[in-house]
Amino acid sequence: MPVIRQLPPSVVNKIAAGEVIERPASVVKELLENSLDAGATRIDVSVELGGLELVRVADNGGGIPPDELPLAVASHATSKLADADDLFRVRTLGFRGEALASIAEVSRFTLRSRTAEQAAGAELEVVAGKPSEVAPCGCPPGTTIEVRNLFFNTPVRRKFLRATQTEMGHVSEILVRLALAHPRVHFSLRHNSRQIHDLPPTERLIDRIGTFFGRELADDLIWLESRDDLVRLSGFVGHPNQNRPNNRMQYLFLNGRSIRDRSLQHALGEAYRGLLLTGRFPVSFLSFEMPPELVDVNVHPTKLEVRFQDGGRLYSQLLGTLRTKFLKTDLTHKLDPHGAETGQTDPAAAHDAERAAQLRSELVDWAKGQMATWRPDAVASAAPQPLGPRQTEFDLPRSSADRRPLELSTLISRAAPQGPSAAGAVAALASPPATQRTAPHSAHSHAAALQIHNRYLVAESEEGVVVIDQHALHERILYEHFRGAVLAGAVESQSLLVPEPVDLSGPEAAAVLEHRELLARLGLGIEPFGGDTILISSYPTMMSADSPAELLRSLVEILLAGGRAPERRDLLDELLHMMSCKAAIKAGDRLAPEEIEALLEQRHLAQDTHHCPHGRPTALVFTREELDRQFKRT
């Protein structure tokens, strides 16, 4: 039997170092945080060979008295916590008292420090965890720490390091994050004696953003601010045309700390839904300030992740603030060369960009309709309407007075006697039940369009020519319609004559049964059938009846997909998107003239965004001026 032994302190420290100090950038992070905690207003960082040779951080902060130098490098020694309760109201960036000990354990480490009261400084050297005597030295007030030959005594760790440039990239990222979180502090960064950054203090975060990411991005940001009794949210988000292929440009700060938070990133994604193409991510520089008691920062070794006492509240605050802001902001105005408000448009902007901007703004105006009068909370708070399945008409909870009521006939489409063909779907749109025929259509009627390549509809509009993606538009319409029905508790559902059994895997069956009530709201009746078999007893009328099992499988996929915030509304939304996409007419479906007309008549329903639920545009506008210009008539 192996004997149980107490580990010697040096092994303990090496283990701790393994957690906190992964690479040179981790050293830079810990040292910068210490300097910020010490109240420094200027911090200079020098790095050699990507930090493998040297990391030096010099600050003008409060300094450490000579007799405390040995304690500073001892493990579990900190000036930032007094007792366990303090752990739950951390106001400093550091608090574990482990960083200096860990770094000194795996490097040649020098600490020089001087407080304001002292005439001279004091110095302490530590090599692989072995401290020397404290010796006097000459130095300015503040603290300078040098870390040489990182991991020289842990060769395995050293082997994991990447090329100098890669390591330097990580160092740079750390500096960028902290410099964005603390614009009032002067930072500088040198690599191999080359100056990389010199960032004078500023009151304006946007100055730092401009320095790091360029004026073009800085000019395309939207200021955001909201505050309730406990939390203040402020910062910038990118205009939708500033989007990225991943979420790395989503900077989030909490009480001066750069954090990563899945749920807040999800809220960002939600707010931009319909404004960005699928797979594109918005840019953000957002700070949350809140009492430290409301957040646990002691959940991640490098404190990158935190745990909020009330994460749902932050999620809603962020999403709500963004949505309200977007509704008030004309998201096209930055692109509009004549936009008086911006004053930021590059006067040298190419003709092409202007043209694109013009087209875009026309399109958005057309598609947005009365977006300005739409309030995001209206949907959620609207009381379910007393509608039985027999009724054929209802208002979308958010529809405004002058919009024509929707017709349930849209939903009945798939049950039309013609069978579940795409043509049938739109035919049902075109010929509402008898009770509906007298409804005033004129207000929104449009001249029929030309169908080309069985996928696009080309129509004349007041301002020019509209090219519509038939699938995208129908999908959008069905989505709006379906969502209205779900919110009103009025989804039409049809019982299956013979309930259909579907064999699923264990987790799939569990997920389905867990969300049974949700699926019922979507019109899908589910019964357990023993083992992992599920019985579909009814299905939404809107959907094609030929494969309820396939619909269920697609729904399960969404139910089991990871990375989703546990908000029920999002899940519902995702399910609705999927179902609308499935039910909509496809590209390649030939449409009859009445069907085209029916589709065009409904296009005002796609008003809250010019994109289909998957983020692709539903329509493009070519203005008459544009055509005139192209044909050299002007």
Which lies closer to ligand ADP via its Cβ, residue 31 or residue 209?
A: 31
Which lies closer to Mg ion via its Cβ, residue 299 or residue 380?
A: 299
Least separation in angstroms between residue 504's CB and ligand ADP is 50
Residue 440 exposed, middle or buried by CB count within 10 Å (0-12, 13-18, 19+) = exposed
Distance between CA 195 and CA 217 in Å, rounded? 23
Helix (H, G, I), strand (E, B), or coil: what is residue 282?
strand
Least separation in angstroms between residue 61's CB and ligand ADP is 5
**160 to 199: interface string for Mg ion, x by CB under 5 A:** ----------------------------------------
Q: Can you state the percent helix, strand and coil of the chain, rounding each to 5?
A: 40, 20, 40
Residue 383 exposed, middle or buried by CB count within 10 Å (0-12, 13-18, 19+) = exposed
Helix (H, G, I), strand (E, B), or coil: what is residue 222?
strand
> Six-digit token pair at 63?
């300094």
Which lies closer to ligand ADP via its Cβ, residue 137 or residue 448?
A: 137
Which lies closer to ligand ADP via its Cβ, residue 116 or residue 452?
A: 116
Query: What DSSP character marks residue 370?
Result: T
Q: Per residue in 77-96, is it b (16+ CB within 10 Å) or e — as a string?
A: ebbebeeeeeeeebebbbbb
> Six-digit token pair at 262?
């899945």
> Which listed option, Mg ion, ligand ADP, none, makes contact with residue 79 (CB within 5 to 8 Å by class)?
ligand ADP
**90 to 129: interface string for Mg ion, x by CB under 5 A:** ----x----x------------------------------
> Which listed option, ligand ADP, Mg ion, none, makes contact with residue 35 (CB within 5 to 8 Å by class)?
ligand ADP
Query: What DSSP character marks residue 128?
Result: T
Least separation in angstroms between residue 2's CB and ligand ADP is 33
282 binds Mg ion (CB under 5 A): no
Distance between CA 508 and CA 156 in Å, rounded? 43
Least separation in angstroms between residue 97's CB and Mg ion is 7
Which lies closer to ligand ADP via its Cβ, residue 247 or residue 298?
A: 298
Catalog residues that contact ligand ADP under the rule CB under 6 A.
30, 34-35, 38, 59, 61-64, 72, 78-80, 94-101, 143
> Which listed option, Mg ion, ligand ADP, none, makes contact with residue 586 (CB within 5 to 8 Å by class)?
none
Helix (H, G, I), strand (E, B), or coil: what is residue 114?
strand
Which lies closer to ligand ADP via its Cβ, residue 140 or residue 489?
A: 140
Which lies closer to ligand ADP via its Cβ, residue 79 or residue 241?
A: 79
> Six-digit token pair at 516?
């049974």
Question: Is-contact 494 619, C-beta < 8 A?
Answer: no
CB neighbours (10 Å) of residue 407?
Answer: 21
Which lies closer to ligand ADP via its Cβ, residue 100 or residue 490?
A: 100
**1 to 40: interface string for Mg ion, x by CB under 5 A:** ---------------------------------x------
- Closest residue to Mg ion, based on beta-carbon distance: 94
> Which listed option, Mg ion, ligand ADP, none, makes contact with residue 96 (CB within 5 to 8 Å by class)?
ligand ADP
Least separation in angstroms between residue 77's CB and ligand ADP is 6
Q: How far is CA 519 from the centre of its chain?
A: 27
Which lies closer to ligand ADP via its Cβ, residue 73 or residue 283?
A: 73
Which lies closer to ligand ADP via its Cβ, residue 292 or residue 420?
A: 292
> Which listed option, Mg ion, ligand ADP, none, makes contact with residue 38 (CB within 5 to 8 Å by class)?
ligand ADP
Least separation in angstroms between residue 71's CB and ligand ADP is 7
Handedness of CA 249, 250, 253, 258 (dihedral sign): negative
Handedness of CA 364, 369, 371, 377 (dihedral sign): negative
> Which listed option, Mg ion, ligand ADP, none, makes contact with residue 103 (CB within 5 to 8 Å by class)?
none
Distance between CA 238 and CA 283 in Å, rounded? 5
Q: Please give the backbone phi and psi of residue 393, each rounded to the nearest 5 degrees, phi first.
A: -145, 140
> Which listed option, Mg ion, ligand ADP, none, makes contact with residue 59 (CB within 5 to 8 Å by class)?
ligand ADP
Least separation in angstroms between residue 39's CB and ligand ADP is 8
Least separation in angstroms between residue 95's CB and Mg ion is 8
- Closest residue to ligand ADP, based on beta-carbon distance: 94
Number of residues binding to Mg ion, judged by CB under 5 A: 3
Query: What DSSP character marks residue 208?
Result: H
Question: Is-contact 332 600, C-beta < 8 A?
Answer: no
Distance between CA 507 and CA 499 in Å, rounded? 22
Least separation in angstroms between residue 27's CB and ligand ADP is 11
> Six-digit token pair at 596?
């085209």
Distance between CA 626 and CA 632 in Å, rounded? 10
The DSSP code sequence of 396-422 is -TT--TTSPPEETHHHHGGGSTT-S-H
Which lies closer to ligand ADP via its Cβ, residue 16 or residue 331?
A: 16
For 550, the enclosing helix (H) or strand (E) is helix 548-560
> Which listed option, Mg ion, ligand ADP, none, makes contact with residue 575 (CB within 5 to 8 Å by class)?
none
> Which listed option, Mg ion, ligand ADP, none, makes contact with residue 321 (CB within 5 to 8 Å by class)?
none
Handedness of CA 293, 295, 296, 297 (dihedral sign): negative
Least separation in angstroms between residue 73's CB and ligand ADP is 7
Which lies closer to ligand ADP via its Cβ, residue 31 or residue 555?
A: 31
Residues lying near Mg ion in the complex (CB under 5 A)? 34, 94, 99
